[in-house]
């Protein structure tokens, strides 16, 4: 007897639980489809997982609705509408049957009598069955609209659910700019909140608490259109109506799926609205990933524009002041012991050709002694020397070569001496030489180890490079050569050919990369394979393979399809086939082909005598483009 102590409820049967587990394992939907109603033979039933049928079934019909309880995601609600013309019995037990007829769930309910229309009752009666299960994500209901009837509440609920799943949400009044307490009526972005105002919360310390909320005097709750995981999806858009910083802006949820509301961190970004940059023209702007200008300035220096790999104004002025128009190889005397930039002291040492290529090219091996080593050249030695202009055919200093060294020397000359024409006997007059007599006379000399004019000591230097930085880092002359168009003879720069230039086959001043060289070539060297040449080599395609033809006819009507490994891009020119059969019986055969297309051809086996059975395995070779 039903009384205040009676317990009502439902559960999955053992058969239903097994069926759902199997569906979950296979990844296929479980489809509860029918509700069964029974009167329990006028008893008070107690549902059991082991049940396979109702105590006494009085009615069976397709479900009108099947959905997860909005208050408990472990409870499944099945719904059936009983029209006025159905009834005449008590409802004490319910059951669910899936599309395959499996008795999946059973429940007992408080006794209720369903009258017939003929009894003067024209009401629709809705029967709902709550089923406890361990998961509802893989359950599906397919409704036949010609059989079942949806309730108004179900339709309204379904419409609301689908609307709430859309990414475009109802606008919010304001949006936060920092973390807030999710309770109480407060001031946000210079706007005072009232109960019921919608708020975009996007800056919480724990990003999982971000989202759309309804303001209240007490604790806030999430908005109805964004309070479940199904309603908060990547790409969610919401418009902000008011606010000093965020008013008239649109925000987007940029968190990737999957999203579990209350667990997954939610990140919102502005996609439209004020960025804080005033209208105007700027020479330097900062743009976000949505193409919006979020900062703008007009700097008047290179550093302000972010250019850091250039000379400053003082550095350029210093370079200009030090710049020289002297060609490499010029010799200049300096009155100090420090070598200026761009010069080397003419000290007879050897230098690296790689470090001073211009000077090495100019001097060559003129001053080399043979002990410089590979990759080096020698400077002239000028220390302690006077420089003399090259004779160059004048005849004043004949026989000299450029860079040759010459020792010191006196010019041939004479000295005046006194002599007597008729000196007396004896030693003669002092200080006189007898006329007509020859003798060697030693002259007393004063001086040093060399003959020299008055002079000023200087350091002779040679111009080594024209760039105001290390010649090993920049070689202007070499760069000029490298910038020239490269040919088979001249070193220089060659551009990489474009695909259009390669296919045009007319430009001989560009180079082709290996990738472009192989462009369009493909091959599959297997039993059923192909070789495809690129369009610039004619675009021919060769294919080969085998097929299987059943013995059964000798005419084109008996032809069977054999497909190519790949489709010809344009057309098939020809197919050649031969037979290699594995059949029983004594017969001769050949394969004939016809109906060639880009994708394959048809063939049949032509028997020359009877008695053959089984199949033949033709081998074919096809050519196309």
**Could you report the per-residue pLDDT of 127-169, keeping only the tens digit for each?**
988 877 766 555 554 444 444 555 555 566 666 666 666 777 8
> Looking at residues 61-65, what average pLDDT do you find?
90
pLDDT confidence of residue 476: 52
pLDDT confidence of residue 255: 94
Please report which confidence band the pLDDT of residue 296 belongs to, taking 50, 70 and 90 as the band edges. Answer: confident
More confident: 373 or 518? 373
Question: For strand 549-550 and strand 613-616, is the pairing parallel, antiparallel, or unpaired?
Answer: antiparallel
State both tokens at 559: 């032809």
> Looking at residues 187-191, what average pLDDT do you find?
95
Highest mean pLDDT among 29-38, 292-301, 309-318, 382-391: 29-38
Report which of 213, 166, 158 is spatially closest to residue 188, judged by C-alpha positions. 213
pLDDT confidence of residue 586: 44
pLDDT reading at 538 higher than 90: no
pLDDT reading at 513 higher than 90: no
Nearest-angstrom CA–CA distance, 107 and 133? 13
**Least confident window among 17-31, 145-159, 260-274, 357-371:** 145-159
Highest mean pLDDT among 310-314, 386-390, 412-416: 386-390
> Looking at residues 280-309, what average pLDDT do you find?
82
**Least confident window among 103-112, 460-469, 569-578:** 460-469
DSSP state of 341: T
Please report which confidence band the pLDDT of residue 465 belongs to, taking 50, 70 and 90 as the band edges. Answer: confident
**Structure confidence by residue, pLDDT tens digits, 4-27:** 888 888 888 999 989 988 988 888
Report which of 30, 36, 149, 50 is spatially closest to residue 99, judged by C-alpha positions. 30
pLDDT reading at 229 higher than 80: yes
pLDDT confidence of residue 68: 82
pLDDT confidence of residue 7: 84
Please report which confidence band the pLDDT of residue 539 belongs to, taking 50, 70 and 90 as the band edges. Answer: confident
**Least confident window among 96-100, 191-195, 307-311, 327-331:** 307-311
> Looking at residues 310-320, what average pLDDT do you find?
75
Q: 61: alpha, beta or left, given left = phi > 0 and alpha = psi -120 to 50?
A: beta
Location of each CATH 3.90.1340.10 domain in the chain: 326-388+457-473
How far from chain centre, in Å, is Cα 184?
Answer: 47
pLDDT reading at 427 higher than 80: no
pLDDT confidence of residue 300: 79
Nearest-angstrom CA–CA distance, 10 and 32? 15
pLDDT confidence of residue 471: 46
pLDDT confidence of residue 494: 75
Please report which confidence band the pLDDT of residue 95 belongs to, taking 50, 70 and 90 as the band edges. Answer: very high
Nearest-angstrom CA–CA distance, 537 and 113? 86
Nearest-angstrom CA–CA distance, 515 and 44? 82
- The 3-class secondary structure across 559-613, one letter per residue, is CEEEECCCCCCCCEEEEEEECCEEEECCCCEEEEEECCCCCEEEEEEEECCCCCE
Nearest-angstrom CA–CA distance, 203 and 559? 72
More confident: 267 or 608? 267
> Looking at residues 221-237, what average pLDDT do you find?
90
Nearest-angstrom CA–CA distance, 526 and 524? 6
Report which of 563, 505, 567 is spatially closest to residue 538, judged by C-alpha positions. 505
Sheet holding 560-563, edge to edge: 560-563, 600-607, 589-594
pLDDT confidence of residue 38: 96
* Element housing 360 (H / E): helix 357-363
pLDDT confidence of residue 515: 74
> Looking at residues 353-362, what average pLDDT do you find?
92
Average pLDDT, the chain: 82
Q: Which long-range contacts (CB under 8 A, 24 or more apart) does 533-537 make?
A: 535/503, 536/502, 536/503, 536/505
State both tokens at 414: 């004479």
Report which of 53, 54, 34, 51 is spatially closest to residue 43, judged by C-alpha positions. 54
pLDDT reading at 584 higher than 90: no
Please report which confidence band the pLDDT of residue 431 belongs to, taking 50, 70 and 90 as the band edges. Answer: low
Name the CATH topology of 326-388+457-473: 3.90.1340
**Least confident window among 283-292, 399-408, 609-618:** 609-618
Q: Tell me if residue 158 falls in helix, strand or coil.
A: helix
H helices then E strands: how many in the chain? 7, 39
Please report which confidence band the pLDDT of residue 365 belongs to, taking 50, 70 and 90 as the band edges. Answer: very high
Nearest-angstrom CA–CA distance, 230 and 222? 14
> Looking at residues 320-341, what average pLDDT do you find?
81
> Looking at residues 192-207, what average pLDDT do you find?
96
**Cα dist from 276 to 288, 293, 306, 442, 621, whole Å:** 13, 9, 22, 105, 71
Sign, CA torsion 324/330/336/341:
positive
pLDDT reading at 474 higher than 60: no
Query: Given the structure tokens 């997954």, which residue do they identify?
Result: 264
pLDDT confidence of residue 280: 84
> Looking at residues 573-591, what average pLDDT do you find?
70
> Looking at residues 243-255, what average pLDDT do you find?
92
pLDDT confidence of residue 143: 46
Name the CATH topology of 524-529+539-624: Immunoglobulin-like (2.60.40)
pLDDT confidence of residue 194: 96
**Least confident window among 212-226, 312-326, 359-373, 591-605:** 312-326
Please report which confidence band the pLDDT of residue 520 belongs to, taking 50, 70 and 90 as the band edges. Answer: confident
Please report which confidence band the pLDDT of residue 436 belongs to, taking 50, 70 and 90 as the band edges. Answer: low
> Looking at residues 116-126, what average pLDDT do you find?
84
**Cα dist from 478 to 360, 472, 475, 537, whole Å:** 12, 11, 5, 39
> Looking at residues 375-399, what average pLDDT do you find?
88
pLDDT reading at 469 higher than 90: no
DSSP string, 37-78: EE-GGGS-----TT--S-SSEEEEEE-SEEEEETTEEEEEEE
> Looking at residues 361-370, what average pLDDT do you find?
93
């Amino acid at each position: 007897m039903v009384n205040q102590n009676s317990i009502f409820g439902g559960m999955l049967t053992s058969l239903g639980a097994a069926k759902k587990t199997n569906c979950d394992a296979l990844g296929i939907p479980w489809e509860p489809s029918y509700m069964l109603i029974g009167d329990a033979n006028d008893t008070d039933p107690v549902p059991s997982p082991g049940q396979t049928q109702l105590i006494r079934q009085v009615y069976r019909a397709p479900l009108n609705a099947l959905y997860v309880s909005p208050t408990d995601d472990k409870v499944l609600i099945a719904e059936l509408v009983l029209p006025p013309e159905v009834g005449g019995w008590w409802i004490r037990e319910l059951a669910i049957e899936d599309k395959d007829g499996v008795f999946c769930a059973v429940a007992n309910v408080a006794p209720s009598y369903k009258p017939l229309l003929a009894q003067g009752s024209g009401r629709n009666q809705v029967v709902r069955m709550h089923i406890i299960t361990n998961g509802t994500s893989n359950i599906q209901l397919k409704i036949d609209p010609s059989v079942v009837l949806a309730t108004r509440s179900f339709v309204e609920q379904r419409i609301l659910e689908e609307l709430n799943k859309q990414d475009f949400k109802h606008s919010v009044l304001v949006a936060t700019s920092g973390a807030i307490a999710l309770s109480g009526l407060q001031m946000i972005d210079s706007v005072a909140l009232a109960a019921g105002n919608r708020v975009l919360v996007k800056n919480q310390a724990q990003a999982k608490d971000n989202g759309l909320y309804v303001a209240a005097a007490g604790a806030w709750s999430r908005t109805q259109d964004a309070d479940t995981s199904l309603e908060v999806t990547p790409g969610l858009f919401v418009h902000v109506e008011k606010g000093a910083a965020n008013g008239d802006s649109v925000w987007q949820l940029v968190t990737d799926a999957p999203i579990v509301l209350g667990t997954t961190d939610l990140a919102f970004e502005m996609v439209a609205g004020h960025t804080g940059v005033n209208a105007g023209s700027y020479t330097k702007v900062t743009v976000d990933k949505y193409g919006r200008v979020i900062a703008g300035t007009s700097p008047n220096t290179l550093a302000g524009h972010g250019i850091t790999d250039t000379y400053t104004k003082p550095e350029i002025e210093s370079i200009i002041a030090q710049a020289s128009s002297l060609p490499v190889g010029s010799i200049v005397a300096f009155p100090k012991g420090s070598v200026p930039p761009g010069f080397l002291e003419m000290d007879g040492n050897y230098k690296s050709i790689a470090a001073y290529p211009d000077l090495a090219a100019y001097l060559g091996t003129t001053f080399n002694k043979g002990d410089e080593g590979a990759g080096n050249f020698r400077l002239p030695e000028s220390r302690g020397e006077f420089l003399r202009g090259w004779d160059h055919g004048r005849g004043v200093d004949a026989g000299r070569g450029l860079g040759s060294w010459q020792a010191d020397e006196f010019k041939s000359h004479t000295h005046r001496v006194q002599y007597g024409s008729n000196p007396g006997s004896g030693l003669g007059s002092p200080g006189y030489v007898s006329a007509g007599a020859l003798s060697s006379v030693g002259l007393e000399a004063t001086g040093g180890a060399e003959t020299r004019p008055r002079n000023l000591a200087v350091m002779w230097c040679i111009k080594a490079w024209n760039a105001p930085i290390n010649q090993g880092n920049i070689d202007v002359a070499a760069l000029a050569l490298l910038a020239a168009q490269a040919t088979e003879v001249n070193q220089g720069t060659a551009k990489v050919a474009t695909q259009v230039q390669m296919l045009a086959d007319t430009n001989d001043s560009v180079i082709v990369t290996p990738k472009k060289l192989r462009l369009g070539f493909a091959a599959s060297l297997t039993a059923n394979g192909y070789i495809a040449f690129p369009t610039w080599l004619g675009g021919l395609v060769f294919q080969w393979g085998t097929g299987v033809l059943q013995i059964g006819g000798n005419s084109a009507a008996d032809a069977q399809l054999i497909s190519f490994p790949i489709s010809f891009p344009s057309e098939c020119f020809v197919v050649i086939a031969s037979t290699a059969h594995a059949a029983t019986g004594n017969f001769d055969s050949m394969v004939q082909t016809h109906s060639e297309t880009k994708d394959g051809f048809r063939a049949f086996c032509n028997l020359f005598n009877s008695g053959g059975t089984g199949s033949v395995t033709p081998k074919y070779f096809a050519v196309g483009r």
